[in-house]
Amino acid sequence: MIQLLNSNGAFLSSDDTLIQDACTRAGIHIGVWSLEDLAHVEGDAILASNDVQALALEAVKTPLGELKSRFGYQYEDIVGLTPQTPNLDGILNAFRPEHHHEDDEVRVILHGAGIFGFVPPVGDAFELVVQKGDWIVVPAMTRHYFYLTDAQTIIALRVFKESPKWEAIY
C-alpha cells in the first residue's frame, strides 16, 4: 500500500484518493499488483537465483504485459539493494539528490520498500512510500529523488522503453 508523506518524511495519508490526486498533479502513475505467487519468496532468493527471477516475472506476466502495452515499454530486469550490497552508501548517494531522467523511471516493488520524493512544478513537494506489490511510473523529466527505508532493502522490477539504462541529470 502506497503511503503519502510530506517532503520532510512525515506521514500524511494512506487514503487512495489523496495519494492519486497528488500523483495526478505531478503526472505520476501508480498502482498495486497482487504478488501472492511470491508470498513465500524471500528477497535474497530473487536476487540470487535466475529460477526465482523467472518465477517473479511469471507472477507479474499479465499486469506487466498491460503496463508495457499501455506505455510502450520493451524491456525489463530485476535489481535490488540490501544491506549486503557492496558500496550501498555510495549507490544511495546517487539516488538521493534531486534529479530527472530523459526516460521514464518505472519500478514494480517485489520485496522491501523505498521512498520516492517529488518536486512538482506546481504544488507542494511530497514523498511516496512504495512497498511489495506497488508500481510507479515516474515520467521522463520529472524531478525526483529516492532513498531506502530503515530496513535498507528493496528489490524491484525495472521496465524500460529502450534497452536498460539509467542516467540521472542533477
Q: What is the CATH number of the domain that holds 59?
A: 2.60.120.10
Write down the pLDDT at residue 155: 95
3-state secondary structure of 142: coil
CA distance 146 to 117: 6
142 domain-assigned: yes
- Expressed as residue numbers, the domain containing 83 is 14-160
166 domain-assigned: no
8 domain-assigned: no
pLDDT digits (tens, 9 = 90+) for 31-86: 999 988 888 887 888 888 888 899 899 989 999 999 999 999 999 999 999 999 99
pLDDT digits (tens, 9 = 90+) for 79-137: 999 999 999 999 999 999 999 999 999 999 999 999 999 988 888 899 999 999 999 99
Domains: count for the chain: 1
Q: What residues are paired with 99 via a beta bridge?
A: 144
Write down the pLDDT at residue 30: 97
pLDDT confidence band for 154 (50 / 70 / 90) = very high
Q: Has this prediction a pTM greater than 0.75?
A: yes
